[in-house]
Amino acid sequence: MLRNEPSIDFPWWKVRLRAAGRGGGYSPWRGLFESVLRVVYRGDWPARLWSFVPGAHEVVVARYCLDLPAGTGRPLRVAFVSDLHAGPTTPEPVLRAGFEAVRAANPDVLLLGGDYVFLDAEPQRLALIEDLVSSVACPTKLAVLGNHDLWACDPAIANALARGGARVLVNESIRLPEPWSDVAVIGLDDPGTGICDSAGAAAQLDGQPFRIVLCHSPDGLLHLSGERFDVFLAGHTHGGQVAAPWGPVVLPHGALCRQFSAGPATLNGGWICVSRGLGGVEVPVRTFAPPDIVVLELSRKNQLE
């Protein structure tokens, strides 16, 4: 079934004014803008040009240590990667360097935060996503989709992730396998372009597990509707992508994107981390917002005897 891809062929010279996927918020102006970029960036030359800039392939590994509830389970290592944006403005070596860092971390769980492509879900981009995700050997791989995925052909992207071994969560919850069955991941739909239903996702859980909420955008916090969370992971902001030394200048649309632009924070007793992601959109350049991956070390400090 996964090999029966939806139609993803779209001539580079045609104007597309509507989203190819199920995502909302795709205006005709956005479609016209992307149609122009599709022509101007044909051949992915901006990404190849940016590859020659010294340090362009360097990826920051942001490591954080948190506590799990006391219990008999083992410590848990989680790697979080977001915003690959395979396409004309993201050099492939950056993506490969990011996943090399993930493999070096040897995670128990790989979480993927959405926006896997930019402009189109072309076959070669889907093949790259599949290759990158499948290169990480860990028991559990979980993913959510982002706004660019929902604007592109999201079923084809979900299929590529599945072939790489990742399960896509759309307002779904899943408990991790033993020895981490007291930890659950809640995967939310993109809050800006999809239908984000945290209450429905949380209702699938029984008991009170340690809750990791995975959502593409920080705006997912607005949709938690009072639901408890222990960890909230998101991307979308790129840390501004083209930022100034004192912080982001321009950020993507989102009510909470400036408050939670990058890095760790806390809210209502929960811990938040927003990744700058690996790839870029619109322009291939990053300044003062280097690409990153996140590695969480979740240990049981008060281990039960």
- For the chain, 305 residues long, give each residue's pLDDT as a single digit of tens: 344 455 456 666 677 889 999 999 999 999 999 999 999 999 999 999 999 999 999 999 999 999 998 777 789 999 999 999 999 999 999 999 999 999 999 999 999 999 999 999 999 999 999 999 999 999 999 999 999 999 999 999 999 999 999 999 999 999 999 999 999 999 999 999 999 999 999 999 988 899 999 999 999 999 997 889 999 999 999 999 999 999 898 899 899 999 999 999 999 999 999 999 999 999 999 999 999 999 999 998 765 44
| Tokens 């128990």 found at | 108
Residue 270 counted as domain residue? yes
The answer to whether residue 158 sits within a structural domain is yes
Cβ 103 vs Cβ 293: under 8 Å: no
**Is residue 305 a part of any domain in this protein?**
no
pLDDT at 5: 55
- Residue 105 domain flag: yes
Q: What is the pLDDT of residue 13?
A: 64
Phi, psi angle pair for 86, to nearest 5°: -55, 125
User: What per-residue confidence (pLDDT) applies to 1?
Assistant: 34
CA distance 82 to 116: 8
pLDDT at 2: 40
Domain of residue 194, CATH code? 3.60.21.10
Give me the pLDDT at residue 286, please.
Answer: 94
User: What is the reported pLDDT for 301?
Assistant: 73
Q: For the chain, give me the number of helices (H) and strands (E)?
A: 7, 12
pLDDT (0 to 100) of residue 16: 84
User: Which burial class, exposed, middle or buried, applies to 5 when counting CB atoms under 10 A from its CB (0-12, 13-18, 19+)?
Assistant: middle
How many structural domains does the chain have?
A: 1
Provide the domain limits for residue 165: 28-299
Enumerate the H helices of 106-205 as residue ranges: 123-134, 147-151, 154-163, 198-202
Contact 76, 47 (CB under 8 A): no
> Residue 21 domain-assigned?
no
Residue entry with tokens 């083209």: 242
Let me know if residue 9 belongs to a domain. Answer: no
Question: Does residue 293 lie within any of the structural domains?
Answer: yes
pTM to 2 decimals? Answer: 0.95
Find tokens 């954080």 and name the residue. Answer: 64
H/E run at residue 76: strand 76-81
Give a yes or no: residue 5 inside a domain.
no
- Residue 138, pLDDT score: 94
Q: Which two tokens stand for residue 199?
A: 């209450």
